[in-house]
Amino acid sequence: MSPGTRRVVLVPALAVLAAVIGAGLADLPPFGHPHSPYGDLLNRVAVPERHTTNVVAATVFDYRGFDTLGEEFILFCAVTGVVALLRDQTEDTGQGEDEPQNDALPVVLMLAFGPCVVIAAWLAAFGYLTPGGGFQAGVVFAGVALLIYLGVGHRHFVVAARDRVTDPLEGLGAGGYVVVGLAALIAGMPFLHNLFGPGETGTFASGGSIGLLNWASAVEVAAANLLLFTHFLGAHVAPLVRGGGA
């Protein structure tokens, strides 16, 4: 297909897409006044039934836990595809002199490392009690690893985030979610049914197996994002460092 023909096909397709999006936006409720009977129902029943004070966590890891399993594997497959495309470009990780020129920067970033790890662990451990959750914790954990790159350079980051560490962790996170579901089946309950009961509201033991699913998500999201960071930096940043490009 020639470029001209592509443009001719593209214009009406974009017009139809714009019309559909516009119609959808026009029917949205006024900002700040959503019509959400599903959300209203969950706000009423989630805490009494699941004993988790974070209704979002009860929803994604219990009421629709199977959907969240699908989301995890969408991320898993997407990262696998991107890494497969980038892997041939990142075999040479480079040993260039990429250390930061500002001596104060590594000190500041390494001082931030500990507090950021604590924040990420808090989001994962208490995400079903307070604002937070496994997906958020995973992103923060991956961001913590980027402090190594920003503080001490690409060469040291590659050593800390090598594939033989992140690959198994990504599989452990995605597989761990499935294992919790299979454990429920083995115990004679529905897939992903709460294994340990709801527990006492507002305590670390509340929510039953929701906490396990929360941690499994955190590990999978952290490892997936770290794999993306590693291969993207190896393909597009390390060559510039070695070659002195900008």
- Per-residue pLDDT 10s for the chain (246 aa) are 677 888 888 899 999 999 999 998 888 878 777 778 888 899 899 888 888 888 988 899 988 889 999 988 999 899 888 888 877 655 544 444 455 556 777 788 778 888 989 999 999 888 888 888 889 999 999 888 888 777 777 776 777 667 777 878 888 888 999 999 999 899 888 898 888 877 788 787 788 888 899 999 999 999 998 888 888 887 766 554 444 444
In a domain? residue 50: no
CA distances from 193 to 45, 66, 79, 165, 181 (A): 17, 10, 28, 31, 7
d(CA 78, CA 75): 5
Contact 52, 43 (CB under 8 A): no
In a domain? residue 150: yes
| Among candidate residues 92, 102, 138, the one with its CA nearest the CA of residue 233 | 92
In a domain? residue 171: yes
d(CA 220, CA 203): 25
In a domain? residue 1: no
What is the model's pLDDT at position 162? Answer: 72
Q: Which residues, 6 or more positions from 199, have their beta carbon under 8 angstroms from its beta carbon? A: 51, 205, 206, 207, 208
In a domain? residue 206: yes
What is the model's pLDDT at position 197? Answer: 79
In a domain? residue 231: yes
Contact 231, 83 (CB under 8 A): yes
Q: pTM for this structure?
A: 0.74
In a domain? residue 239: yes
What is the model's pLDDT at position 164? Answer: 75
Contact 134, 213 (CB under 8 A): yes
Tokens of 131: 């604002």
Q: Domains in the chain: how many in total?
A: 1
Helix (H) or strand (E) holding 127: none
In a domain? residue 126: yes
Domain boundaries, position 89: 56-243
Q: Which residues, 6 or more positions from 134, have their beta carbon under 8 angstroms from its beta carbon? A: 61, 124, 127, 213, 214, 215, 216, 217, 218, 221
